[in-house]
Structure 1
Amino acid sequence: MAQSAWYAVGIKEVRAVESAVLERYGQRLSDLALTSAGFRMGRFMAAEGIRDGQELAQRILAGERPVYDGLLASIFPPTTELFRDPSFWSELRDGVLPSLVGIFGQSLRVWVASFDSGEELYSLCVVLDDAGLLPFAEIYASYISEQVRYRSAQGLLPGRRYGLDCENFGRYNPQGELGRYFDDAGAQLRLKPEFLKRVQYLAQGVEFTPVPGGGVHLALCRNQLIFFNNTLGERNVGVLAEALHGGGALALGVCENLENYQNGSTFTPQNSREGIYRRLRN
């Protein structure tokens, strides 16, 4: 099967897979954006040698967890870059974090709500360290795929993207050299373990659930809403809003905004260019 043929020929098969996932694991993939999810399902099937959607659905119903986990990892694509959109991370360090400390103090609770493959989390940890806040932070990182969680917890980055990562890191205008944070691990880079000590991983479904223990002061969900339909997007933005303390910050990224999800009564823009919003106080 051609990698690009899935969506063009298989809407019924997409629905069969969605039904199997809902029945076996309780995840409602039908609330994802159909074009993106269908294409990525097809690419996963081609890579795994799965003949068609019926076979994939049957293997999911049979409880083949690696197949299900691999499907989830393929539907939510990896972040791909350390310090993606470097100006955002500079703004986070120099603008957002100082204002949050001014309101809440140094002990910030942070939620990486996007299904990140590690790069977003690693970038956050570096920024918090540069700002002198990492020892006081409580960080939650959402994951939907166990494969991705394992890789993220190892602190691994593909070495083939080292040049791009270094370029982004330099544009972020860091406080130290990249080697301060990462070790050479052969074909990969590895974030030094001490920078992940404040991280707790949080299993999530496509429908977000709040972090345990109360509200957070900063939530990162950059460039994630594009994978949801409007119903799911509105629901998940509501969960993010409920999770944030009044005065807390939500980062959606340069590709997205809240125009379709709230009427201005919950958030106000802090930096529209970087997709950063502040939760209004109740």
Structure 2
Amino acid sequence: MKFEDGVWPEYDEQLEKLEIRLLLEAVFNRYGHDFRNYSYPSMRRRIWHRATMEQLGTISMLQHLVLHDRDAFERLLGDLVIPVTELFRDPGMFRFFRGKVAPELAKLPFVRIWHAGCASGEEAYSSAIVMDEKGLLDHSRIYATDISRQALQRAREGVVPPDRMEAYERNYEDSGGAQSIAAYYGEAGGVFRLKPSIADRIVFAEHNLVTDRSFNEFHVIFCRNVMIYFNSDLRDRVHALLYESLADGGFLILGGKESVAFTRLAGRYEIWSDEHRVYRKVR
């Protein structure tokens, strides 16, 4: 099969499904990343995008490439876990966190927060800034994890593109920010970098929600817009992991299209905000 001028010839649907299944099985066995229970339409689009970018005529050819070339696998991984994030994304949720959740955290001697699927880190920066403004950051530790090494490298750098600062300033103000987002960034040579007083409270590490176990007990877990790509079986598994990782009375914060409703654990949470998908573990 030959790729010409951005157009693919007619393709056998059953063969395509087989090739995708074999590719995802190969990725799991070779690299330990399990996408086998992700939404099929989403995986199909992203896999074909990578095949197109690599100028390959079949998914089997893509499988051969990623099994023998780690850099090619990293490129595929970047397509499969496309990060969509920004500072204080969904400002209303952060306003709720600032006004309702943070006062509960202030009652604790030490606070552990986990951002699961942190992408390039902006959400973790945002929670750290809120915790700092509430006077809680000095007795907090924020863990931010992702399966993408490239995303984690960007997250550790703490750099914000200059052309995004104006939009981030609006998000910050809408979230109830007390001053200016620029107060938390140092600028040098046109590069804005998160100040060490904030960045040093965040630990970035690799973690796969699909295959790895719980690694601590947390008082808040952010897992936003991650499970929308999972099928129902995988969502159940990840919900069990998150529940296991939450301390009693801990808060789970999901994305706007996600919920604990209709999961086996729904009765073990109290709804704190249905609008902002904030739940508290009650038992």
What TM-score does the superposition give when structure 2 sets the normalisation length? Answer: 0.88
Aligned to 1:270: 272
Shift of 1:75: 1.4
1:83-162 paired onto structure 2 within 5 Å: 83-102=88-107, 105-162=108-165
- Distance between the aligned counterparts of 2:190 and 2:77, measured in 1? 25
Q: 1:172 to 1:208 in 2, by over 3 A?
A: farther
Structure 2 SS opposite 1:29: coil
Aligned to 1:34: 40
Contact 2:155/2:204, CA 8 A, preserved across alignment: no
**Larger Rg, first or second structure (1 or 2):** 2
Write the letter of the residue equivalent to 2:154. R
Aligned to 1:207: 210
Shift of 1:211: 4.4
Shift of 1:238: 0.3
Contact 1:20/1:60, CA 8 A, preserved across alignment: no
Shift of 1:262: 2.6
1:57 aligns with 2:59: no
Unaligned stretches of 5+ residues in structure 1 = none
- Distance between the aligned counterparts of 1:228 and 1:244, measured in 2? 21
Contact 2:116/2:209, CA 8 A, preserved across alignment: no
- Distance between the aligned counterparts of 1:109 and 1:119, measured in 2? 18
Shift of 1:164: 2.1
- Distance between the aligned counterparts of 1:188 and 1:209, measured in 2? 35
Q: 1:100 to 1:70 in 2, by over 3 A?
A: same
Aligned to 1:229: 231
Can you list the C-alpha shifts for 1:229-253, whole angstroms capped at 9, x where unaligned?
A: 1111100010000010110000002
Equivalent of 1:217 in 193, 216, 219: 219
Identity %: 29
Moved more, 255-264 or 203-212: 203-212
Contact 1:215/1:245, CA 8 A, preserved across alignment: yes
- Distance between the aligned counterparts of 1:128 and 1:41, measured in 2? 39
Structure 2 SS opposite 1:274: coil
Q: 1:4 to 1:244 in 2, by over 3 A?
A: farther
Write the letter of the residue equivalent to 2:50. F
Structure 1 SS opposite 2:208: coil
Shift of 1:57: 0.7
Equivalent of 1:17 in 23, 26, 36: 23
Shift of 1:116: 2.2
1:79 aligns with 2:84: yes
Shift of 1:42: 2.4
Aligned to 1:183: 186
- Distance between the aligned counterparts of 1:258 and 1:252, measured in 2? 9
Aligned to 2:174: 171
Contact 2:85/2:119, CA 8 A, preserved across alignment: no
Moved more, 45-54 or 69-78: 45-54
Can you list the C-alpha shifts for 1:34-88, whole angstroms capped at 9, x where unaligned?
A: 11122122223333444431222112222x2222222222212213321111011
Q: 1:187 to 1:29 in 2, by over 3 A?
A: farther
Structure 2 SS opposite 1:217: strand
1:69 aligns with 2:74: yes
Contact 1:23/1:61, CA 8 A, preserved across alignment: no
- Distance between the aligned counterparts of 1:37 and 1:185, measured in 2? 40
Unaligned stretches of 5+ residues in structure 2 = none
1:245 aligns with 2:247: yes
Moved more, 230-239 or 163-172: 163-172
What TM-score does the superposition give when structure 1 sets the normalisation length? Answer: 0.89
